[in-house]
């Protein structure tokens, strides 16, 4: 099946669909640095590096280009929906990211689309934004007589055997009506367990990064021998792994980190720390899942991202492991660009599940 990935990022959502046997026709990513990582890891895919507004209005996509469209319009693009004034919502320039995602869906008319976004979208503006999005895709007139049957679910990364307390909203729309979405969800789990019996087993920080050696200046390390099922799932045949570098922290930051034990954060320091992050200067615990990996996992003040033993934040490779990226996936760019790529990505283990779920839904049509 052919797939279009909008707001592709470095390719976390694409990766799961590729692993499940789909073909990605085109991927759209506005940030050239992030798109570069996508291109190098997937040289066979046509990556369009442009604003989705330009992609939409240039007539790049046509009816029938793909059976599946995936992507997550950034939540910053959503503004107040108002009192269900649909035309006002869809035409509000602050909502252009969602608008052009919707326009591509309406143009291509895929059998199914998958939209990923922040959990908080459901409650933004007292739920008006979420209700409006569902209404737009479900409206028969707006969709030229072919409305979408909508299913939505909050997914927790820990439920997919990912060592991270990440929660995201998944919205799935399909032209197939009268589906038992929850029943198919359970069928998908059973199907994956036949291939990967440990897929959904609880996983910890130790399971994810426990076999990685010390960081290096270049980030290049010998490929370590996997020690558990999670590491085996992510393992590759490369002789070397990359991206295992550490941030260069100030002497003061290192002194602060040294005072913090596992599970503690800045509140245990004997000084005043002004931080908007409740987990600021937080140290990870080996035998628990990590906090949500964000774009600031390389910064002590950014959250609970200090290594369980060492006085440093997570390396990009460690963060990628916690996000469930395969070891052979290489991130390119500056330190900040790489942090954004990893922190903003959909964990590939979730996207693989969604790809298998989409397969199960489309089987209902046959």
Strand boundaries in the chain, DSSP class E: 2-6, 23-28, 46-48, 68-71, 112-118, 149-156, 167-174, 221-222, 240-241
Q: Which residue numbers are catalytic?
A: 75
Are the CB atoms for 54 and 100 separated by under 8 Å?
Answer: no
Instruction: Please count the other Cβ atoms lying within 10 Å of the Cβ belonging to residue 359.
Output: 19
171 beta partners: 115, 152
Helices and strands in the chain, H and E counts: 13, 9
Are the CB atoms for 284 and 290 separated by under 8 Å?
Answer: yes
Q: How many residues does the chain have?
A: 366
Are the CB atoms for 279 and 301 separated by under 8 Å?
Answer: no
- Distance in angstroms (rounded) separating the CA atoms of residues 226 and 236: 10
Q: At 2, give phi and psi (nearest 5°).
A: -90, 140
55 beta partners: none
- Distance in angstroms (rounded) separating the CA atoms of residues 366 and 363: 5
């Amino acid at each position: 099946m052919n797939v279009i990935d909008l707001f592709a990022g470095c390719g976390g959502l694409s990766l799961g669909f590729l692993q499940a046997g789909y073909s990605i026709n085109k991927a759209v990513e506005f940030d050239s640095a992030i798109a570069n990582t996508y291109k190098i890891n997937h040289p066979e895919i046509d990556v369009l590096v442009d604003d989705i507004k330009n992609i939409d209005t240039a007539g790049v996509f046509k009816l029938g280009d793909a059976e599946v469209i995936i992507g997550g319009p950034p939540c910053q693009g959503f503004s107040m929906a108002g009192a269900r004034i649909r035309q006002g919502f869809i035409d509000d320039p602050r909502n252009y990211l969602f608008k052009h995602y919707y326009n591509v869906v309406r143009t291509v008319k895929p059998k199914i689309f998958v939209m990923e976004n922040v959990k908080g979208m459901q409650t933004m503006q007292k739920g008006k934004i979420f209700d409006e999005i569902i209404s737009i895709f479900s409206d028969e007139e707006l969709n030229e007589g072919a409305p979408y049957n909508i299913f939505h679910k909050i997914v927790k990364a820990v439920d997919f055997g990912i060592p991270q307390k990440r929660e995201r909203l998944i919205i799935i729309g399909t032209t197939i009506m009268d589906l038992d979405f929850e029943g198919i969800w359970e069928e998908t789990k059973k199907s994956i367990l036949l291939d990967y019996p440990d897929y959904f087993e609880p996983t910890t920080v130790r399971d994810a990064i426990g076999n990685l050696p010390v960081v290096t200046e270049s980030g290049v390390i010998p490929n370590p021998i996997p020690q558990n099922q999670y590491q085996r799932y992510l393992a590759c045949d490369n002789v070397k792994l990359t991206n295992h570098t550490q941030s260069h922290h100030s002497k003061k930051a290192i002194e602060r980190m040294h005072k913090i034990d596992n599970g503690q954060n800045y509140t245990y320091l004997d000084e005043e720390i002004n931080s908007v992050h409740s987990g600021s200067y937080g140290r990870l615990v080996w035998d628990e899942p990590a906090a949500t990996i964000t774009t600031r996992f390389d910064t002590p003040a950014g959250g609970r991202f200090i290594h369980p033993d060492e006085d440093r934040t997570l390396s990009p490779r460690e963060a990628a492991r916690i996000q469930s990226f395969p070891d052979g996936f290489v991130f390119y760019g500056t330190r900040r660009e790489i942090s954004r790529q990893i922190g903003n990505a959909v964990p590939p283990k979730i996207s693989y599940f969604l790809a298998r779920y989409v397969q199960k839904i489309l089987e209902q049509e046959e």
